[in-house]
Structure 1
């Protein structure tokens, strides 16, 4: 007779940093209160801020970091965030 044993927990524990965080933690990460975050969210999203996961309602910390890196000019050759008017002018200029 074969006995099936449940996996035993390891005696070594590692901290787990969640990638998806609730709105309150995303707000804190941006040094905002939750009400400030919720008030500014539409404007942030117009600037490319990542949307929450449609299933959990949580925000992806890696996506938030990538968004901020792009805005700050730290994402390789990416330029800091431009206004939509500046983007349209630049695209029109390339058309001739």
Structure 2
């Protein structure tokens, strides 16, 4: 019996794929996106730009007001620790 294999989602997207990921038909929209493409090629010339999905997501998170991954307030444990530290600082003053 064969096991079902989940499709692999690439992390790096071509300009056309990045535009589609953002919901646009034309890669021209990428001129308005402040995410620098990674230039990868097999010949060492760096002629194949690729857009990192995580970089696109972080940019979109910032636009929509969501906290980017890694922001201290994004993790409830980090927020609780910061609140406790502020409380303790007040008490010692």
TM-score (norm 2): 0.54
Where do 5+ consecutive residues of structure 2 fail to align?
A: 41-47, 74-93
- CA distance, structure 2, for counterparts of residue 14 and residue 30 of structure 1: 23
**Once the two structures are superposed, what CA deviation does each residue of 1:65-92 show, in whole Å capped at 9, x if it has no partner?**
1110011110166xxxxxxxxxxxxxxx
Q: Which residue of 1 is the match for residue 62 of structure 2?
A: 70
Q: Structure 2 vs 1, CA of residues 14 and 67 (structure 1 numbering), >3 Å: closer, same or farther?
A: same
Between structures 1 and 2, the one with greater strand share: 2
1:1-96 mapped onto 2 (5 Å cutoff): 11-12=2-3, 13-34=5-26, 37-38=27-28, 40-45=29-34, 50-55=35-40, 56-75=48-67
Q: Does the 8 Å CA contact 2:39/2:49 hold for their aligned counterparts? A: yes
Number of equivalent positions: 61
Where do 5+ consecutive residues of structure 1 fail to align?
A: 1-10, 78-96
